[in-house]
């Protein structure tokens, strides 16, 4: 379904990845932005060399070393690149379905002044193949 500009109801919107002519709005737009930030390796965008997060580099670290490094990397990337988000928690654990992967869970809420908003969770799967 192709969306026209007259049908967009939110200030926060983007083109939906993988869906020609579709958009995401509001919290779904923020969710998509977080996925993009966390799955883009730093240095891979030549016009924004600091954009993204190098999460995959910690995949083969011992879990007690990987988790604090992942939390730091996620915190820095989201703080820098997604000011609409208030971070609530970040956790990382082995993927129960794919033993060589890690799941990074980011719990966040929209930062809309003093009004509390419901929390959302974004999950990124890190594979041991060296890319996300």
Domain of 64, in residue numbers: 5-126
Q: How many domains are there within the chain? A: 1
Asked if 65 contacts 47 with a C-beta cutoff of 8 angstroms, the reply is no
Residue 117 lies in a domain: yes
Q: How many residues make up the chain in this entry? A: 132
Residue 53 lies in a domain: yes
> What pTM, to 2 d.p., does this model score?
0.83
* Element spanning 59, H or E: none
User: Token digits for 57?
Assistant: 């580099």
Residue 131 lies in a domain: no
In tens, the pLDDT along 64-115 reads 999 999 999 999 999 999 999 999 999 999 889 887 888 999 999 998 766 7
Q: What CATH number did the domain enclosing 100 receive?
A: 3.10.450.40
Environment class of residue 92 by beta-carbon count within 10 Å: exposed (0-12), middle (13-18) or buried (19+)?
A: buried
In tens, the pLDDT along 48-59 reads 999 999 998 888
In tens, the pLDDT along 108-123 reads 999 876 677 889 999 9
Residue 120 lies in a domain: yes
Residue 110 lies in a domain: yes
């Amino acid at each position: 379904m192709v969306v026209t500009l007259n049908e967009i109801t939110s200030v926060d919107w983007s083109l939906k990845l993988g869906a020609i002519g579709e958009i995401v709005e509001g919290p779904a737009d923020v969710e998509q932005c977080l996925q993009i930030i966390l799955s883009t390796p730093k240095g891979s965008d030549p016009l924004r060399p600091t954009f993204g997060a190098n999460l995959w580099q910690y995949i083969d670290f011992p879990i007690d070393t990987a988790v604090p490094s992942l939390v730091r990397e996620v915190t820095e990337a989201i703080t820098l690149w997604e000011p609409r988000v208030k971070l609530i928690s970040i956790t990382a654990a082995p993927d129960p379905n794919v033993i060589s992967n890690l799941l990074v869970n980011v719990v966040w809420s929209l930062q809309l002044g003093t009004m509390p908003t419901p929390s959302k969770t974004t999950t990124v799967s890190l594979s041991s193949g060296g890319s996300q």
